[in-house]
Amino acid sequence: MSKLSVRRRGKTWEYYFEGAKISGQRYRPRKGGFRTKAEAIAAGNEALTKYFNNGYYFTPTKMSFSDLLDLWIKEHGEVNLKDTTLTNYKKRIKIHIKPELGMYQAITLTPIMLQEFINNKAKKGYSRNTLSVLKGILSSSFSYAVLMNLIPSSPMTNVKLPSPRNEQIESRTNPHIYIPPEKIIDIFERFPEKSSTHIAMMSGYKGGLRIGEAFALTWEDVDFNNNTISINKQIQWSETEKLWYFSKPKYDSLRVIKMDQDYMALLMREKERQKKAKEYYGNDYIKLYINEQKQLNLEGDGKIIHLVNIRENGESIIPRSMQHTSSIIHHKMDFPDFDFHSFRHTHATMLAEQNVSPKYLQERLGHKNLKVTMKYYIHLTEKMSENGDELINMIYGTKN
């Protein structure tokens, strides 16, 4: 490696060093304007290290795993991953991986250390989905490092997820909450028709929609003739672009579902209100646009989109509006376990109580397979338990 040199140039200092020749001519990277010799030396050493290590400020063999993860996110993740996936990965890296593995040099991490990391997460009860995501991040980041010649081989090659049959491992996943009928009444009395989150919550309660699906509903999705709504998108926040955009529903679960007459009447009344409000506000009525990248904007980029969930002046109501609603339900209504997904879980439970086909329930909710429907969304209520008890007595009870 070339030697760093510094020299005074007038009232400031400059660093320089010998670089690779270009067309046979000497090339000297240099930079001046530093107030002191020490500043010139510090900046020069950083530039020298970067120049002789393929553009990095660190020696690859001494790179920390934390730095490798940052590099992988920037050069691979931000180019190849969806915003939602990228945000999820950054969260897992921050919470799980960096605190336990980030301080080590990437090249010193061994299969034993990484297998122990995964196993310990499993023993603490993290879900199999979380374990799979963590393993995926580790595998992909090390594969990237190999591809970039930063390490000779990936230590993740033989790291495995623990067997799901291990009964000693209990999931940390919080169970979804069934909302009892009396609480449903309380919630919709506190947030009645015309309140900002009423229609979205009704969509979750009566249709089993996910939160992103409920707030993404447009009037084009509503069929008043057949009493159906089309679930063909979800609204999500892009942390990178700092904007809202549409994407396909989770698991690409496009579906058309039947809704009850009261719900459809609610939407009809809302549509009439919006029509009158648009006439009242005139040019001051807010218009929302969607461009070719499915990004929502107010600048007129793309075509006008007509959301179901909007305020009187046309302003869109976004999923974050549920934060205030949930806070009131948690604290003022004494229901701390509530979240929007509780409506979806309750909807599935109510249908299960009526003995609807599990396949019908799967398709209505948009689950990727029947196992998910059976495992996570059928809640054994008191009514179902009583029905089972009566059946047992009928079958095995004493006969006169």
Model pLDDT for residues 136-178, shown as the tens digit of each residue? 999 999 999 999 888 889 999 999 998 765 544 444 555 678 9
Indicate whether 327 belongs to any domain.
yes
Indicate whether 221 belongs to any domain.
yes
Per the CB < 8 A criterion, the answer to whether 162 and 169 are in contact is yes
How far, in Å, CA of 10 to CA of 1, rounded?
A: 28
State the average pLDDT over residues 113-117.
95
C-beta atoms surrounding 86 within 10 Å: 18
User: Are 263 and 130 members of one domain?
Assistant: no
Indicate whether 338 belongs to any domain.
yes
Provide the Cα torsion 326, 88, 124, 169; round to 10°. Answer: 100
User: Are 187 and 247 members of one domain?
Assistant: yes
Among 304, 327, 343, give the residue marking a domain's end.
343
User: Are 255 and 319 members of one domain?
Assistant: yes
Rounded to 5 degrees, φ, ψ at 121 are: -65, -40
Provide the number of structural domains found in the chain. 3
Q: DSSP states of 287-329 as a string? A: -EEE-TT-BEESS--SEEE-BSSB-TTSPBP-TTHHHHHHHHH
Indicate whether 159 belongs to any domain.
no
User: Are 202 and 300 members of one domain?
Assistant: yes
For the ranges 4-8, 24-28, 294-298, the lowest mean pLDDT is seen at 24-28
User: Are 31 and 83 members of one domain?
Assistant: no
Q: Which long-range contacts (CB under 8 A, 24 or more apart) does 357-364 make?
A: 363/255, 364/207, 364/208, 364/255, 364/257
User: Are 247 and 116 members of one domain?
Assistant: no
Q: What is residue 59's predicted lDDT score, i.e. its pLDDT?
A: 52
Is the pLDDT at 57 greater than 70, yes or no?
A: no
How far, in Å, CA of 29 to CA of 20, rounded?
A: 10
Per the CB < 8 A criterion, the answer to whether 350 and 182 are in contact is no
User: Closest Cα partner for 232 from 208, 212, 260?
Assistant: 212
User: Are 215 and 284 members of one domain?
Assistant: yes
Q: Enter the DSSP assignment of 357.
A: -
Among 343, 364, 393, give the residue marking a domain's end.
343
Among 52, 75, 91, give the residue marking a domain's end.
52
CATH of the domain at 85: 1.10.150.130
User: Are 191 and 274 members of one domain?
Assistant: yes
User: Are 253 and 141 members of one domain?
Assistant: no
User: Are 191 and 284 members of one domain?
Assistant: yes
Indicate whether 176 belongs to any domain.
no
C-beta atoms surrounding 139 within 10 Å: 16
Q: Which long-range contacts (CB under 8 A, 24 or more apart) does 73-80 make?
A: 75/144, 76/140, 76/144, 78/240
Per the CB < 8 A criterion, the answer to whether 326 and 340 are in contact is yes
Q: Which residue has the tokens 């790179």?
A: 63
In which domain, by residue range, is 101 found? 62-147
How far, in Å, CA of 300 to CA of 225, rounded?
A: 32
Is the pLDDT at 20 greater than 90, yes or no?
A: no
Is the pLDDT at 65 greater than 90, yes or no?
A: yes
User: Are 72 and 41 members of one domain?
Assistant: no
3-state secondary structure of 222: strand
Indicate whether 170 belongs to any domain.
no
Indicate whether 369 belongs to any domain.
no
Indicate whether 171 belongs to any domain.
no
Say how many Å lie between the first and final Cα of the chain, rounded: 99
pLDDT tens-digit series, residues 228-268: 999 999 999 887 778 899 999 988 899 999 999 999 999 99
User: Are 206 and 113 members of one domain?
Assistant: no
